[in-house]
A and B are shown apart, each in its own frame.
Chain A
Amino acid sequence: MKVQAGLLAVVLVGSLAACGSGGGGAGDADAAAKARGPITIWYSNNAEEVAWGKQMVAAWNAAHADQKVTAQEIPTGKSSEEVIGAAITAGNAPCLIFNTSPASVSQFQKQGGLVPLDSFPDGKQYIEDRSGDVAQQYKSADGKYYQLPWKSNPVMIFYNKKAFAKAGIDTTNPPLKTYDEFLATSRKVVASKAAKVAIYPAPSNEFYQSWFDFYPLYAAETGGKQLVADGKSTFASDEGKKVAGFWQTMYKDKLASPEKYTGDAFVDGTAAMAVVGPWAIATYKGKVDWGVVPVPTSTGKPANEIHTFSDAKNVGMYSSCKNRGTAWDVLKFATSQDQDGKFLAASGQMPLRKDVATTYADYFTKNPDYKVFADQASRTVEVPNVPNSITIWQTFRDAYSKSVIFGQEDPGSALDGAAQKVDQLVKQS
């Protein structure tokens, strides 16, 4: 019965859209932008963000009895994006979601599900004042902001000091700067049996997995290029092929595994390294004695020149929101310097605001492990904010998976083929 179930899932969401009645034209939108009253918000379901969300809502509600915020964790689904997409279609999305993936913004925008934050008189200025130049990456194709850049998790290379020591590798300054160094270190780890594999990026085929293998290294190799820029794909370049070649060697020499892993290979000791952002530190506490370095480049660029993938999650305001005036005020309150500081302290994730390291200098003095992420946060690359974004990433992943992970095609020609398809997808937009 799954055929009917599959069609049903697709259709029920569709029919809700077909049956939906008017939610507001331009006039309604203007009125809604000024309207104040109770609102609902969703936040992520990890313990750290829940704790922060609860205190933020309590602080707001204590001072605004007439504009009460009701908060809950994002309902469970295969992914947050799927749940949000269904909620937009059904017209029951909350006013604000503090977990909006930048890759999905173009799709939500096409659905008519997002409120452009520029529609508030101080919207554009607030975003750009808070985040600085980084904000530009989050503008949509029409030049508007449909998301507030909230927080990033700059992706870096974590290493297990114990495993490195066992392999006879320097644990304070491990040779991981160049591809050659990284490969040599990986070979040492595997040969010494310090871990079964050197690193274990998820080899599965979901569209987003390239954000944690190819993309951080590509950002570093290119000095901060996005996958698509100026209406064209960029990855079938020499730099892109170098990155693909590096990962191909990792898989071919069995330094990384093409097999799916259930659990956390880094925590379990199956892998000696992980490519991940600071959100993971909480899960390593008491389990892994870790160190962290920037992602490698072919020439071994100095750390202060290395870009990486941001792994950001942002805040979107959804068009089903009636009291948008309150929602905008809550959004500013939740991303104020004070609340961003509390968020950093609770989660270790980097608020997407300029000068994080100096603004929260006390925090980084007390938590020196996190300082390197604050520095890296100033050089992050986002997924391109273009229509067909998810299809573009899936197209890229299919080609990468076939060539780099499973070695069934030359990575260079696979990237060339994917680039042609991606260029077509960008043109369709």
Chain B
Amino acid sequence: MKRGPLTRVLGEHPVGTAFVTPYVVFIAAVFAYPLVFAVYMSFHDYFFAAPGAIVDRPFVGFANYATVLSDPAVRRAFGNVLIFLVINVPLTVVLSLGLSTALNSAIRWRTFFRVSYYVPYVTASVAVVGVWLFLFNSNGLVNSVLGPLAPDPSWLVNSHLAMPTVAIFVTWKQLGFFILLYLAALQNVSADLYEAASMDGASRWKSFLNVTVPGVRPATTLVVLLATVTGANLFTEPYLLTGGGGPDGASASPVLIMYQRGIEQGNPDVASAIGVLLVIGVLILALVERRFVGREDR
């Protein structure tokens, strides 16, 4: 059948194209254009200027990347975020899977627990940071409970413990969302499989390992990827909880450094270079994770 020129452009189903177009435009304007522009900025001596101001923004090649990579603060921030991810991602997977399995069973107060885990997720970080400052300062509740075992300096001002504390905070805060993902996935694990395992004499633990874990593998892939992406973009917690990435940059994150360099110090070119490196880093990490965690999905 011969296709007309309009069909060639709009495809067999032009109505479908019309439905898709607004979202494509949205993605192009809000994600693609800024990303391309950020790459452009990272290769120029770029700064924000008033409309009409005559400014010179020459091409500088990889100079901004050289600046970024030779900056100990930036290198440390990338190292910090790796520490964060090593703690946050496995903890998120283990806790959210364990708790969702528990919440999926017929336990008392199930709805109450489900809501309780979700509340921190929907509460603004700014609001809960104050509570955590109170819990984890040197005279806080946690140290009072620990007594002589309390660390000195205390959690948030201890260069070894600040980032792990931030990682635990973020894990706790986002747990509700990941529990929801797992709860949805658990509805798709057939009860027949549990029944068969039980008939074969499998214990609850064995059932969990051999039925639940493989059954929710696609959700685990999603949880790992989302936890990595949100974790790599850590900003609010080091900004508020540890007073700007303290102590001595031990909890600084790449996005916090981007904010300092780009917005506060007026060097958006350097900030863009950090951002581009971060995007590349997250993409590589996501591909590696997908290869290992999501291997049965291929």
Contact = CB atoms under 8 A, between A and B. Distances in A.
Contact of B35 (A4, A23, A81, A406): A4
Contact of A258 (B33, B46, B47, B157): B157
Interface in B25-55: 30-31, 33-35, 37-38, 41, 46-55
Interface residues of A, number: 63
B53 A259 contact: no
B262 A10 contact: yes
Given A2-B255, A205-B245, A394-B265, A7 B50 contact: no
Contact of A111 (B138, B245, B266, B279): B266
Interface string A231-243: 0000000000000
Given A204-B246, A406-B247, A107 B38 contact: no
Nearest to A79: B264
A88 B49 CA distance: 7
B164 interface: no
Given A6-B235, A88-B50, A258 B153 contact: yes
A88 B48 contact: yes
A167 to B, nearest CB: 20
B264 A10 contact: no
Interface string A243-264: 0000000000000011110100
Given A10-B38, A111-B53, A258-B153, A3 B229 contact: yes
Residue among B53, B54, B133, B159 with the highest chain A CB neighbour number at 10 A: B53
Contacts of A259: 133, 137-138, 154, 156-157
B275 to A, nearest CB: 4
B252 to A, nearest CB: 8
B267 A21 contact: no
Nearest to B72: A398
A206 interface: yes
A11 B38 contact: yes
B243 to A, nearest CB: 3
Give the residue among B41, B51, B242 with the most A Cβ atoms within 10 A.
B51
B177 interface: no
Contacts, number: 192
B60 to A, nearest CB: 14
Interface in B50-89: 50-55, 73
B170 to A, nearest CB: 12
A8 B35 CA distance: 7
B265 A7 contact: no
Interface in A101-127: 107, 110-113
B208 interface: no
A388 B263 CA distance: 13
B263 A203 contact: no
B272 A7 contact: yes
A24 interface: yes
A174 to B, nearest CB: 26
A131 interface: no
B274 to A, nearest CB: 9
A406 B263 CA distance: 26
B278 to A, nearest CB: 6
A111 B47 contact: yes
A23 B50 contact: yes
A11 B229 contact: no
27 contacts: A1-B229, A1-B233, A2-B235, A4-B31, A6-B233, A7-B35, A10-B268, A14-B46, A17-B51, A21-B52, A23-B51, A24-B52, A79-B264, A111-B49, A111-B50, A112-B55, A203-B246, A204-B246, A206-B243, A259-B138, A259-B156, A260-B133, A260-B241, A319-B52, A388-B265, A394-B264, A398-B73
Interface of A: 1-18, 20-25, 78-79, 81-82, 85, 88-91, 93, 107, 110-113, 196, 202-207, 257-260, 262, 319-320, 388, 390-391, 394, 398, 401-402, 405-406, 408
Given A3-B275, A89-B48, A205-B245, 15 more contacts: A2-B233, A6-B255, A9-B262, A10-B41, A11-B34, A12-B34, A13-B48, A20-B51, A91-B51, A110-B49, A113-B49, A204-B244, A259-B133, A319-B52, A402-B248
Give me the 4 closest cross-chain CB pairs, A-B, nearest first: A20-B51, A112-B53, A204-B243, A23-B52
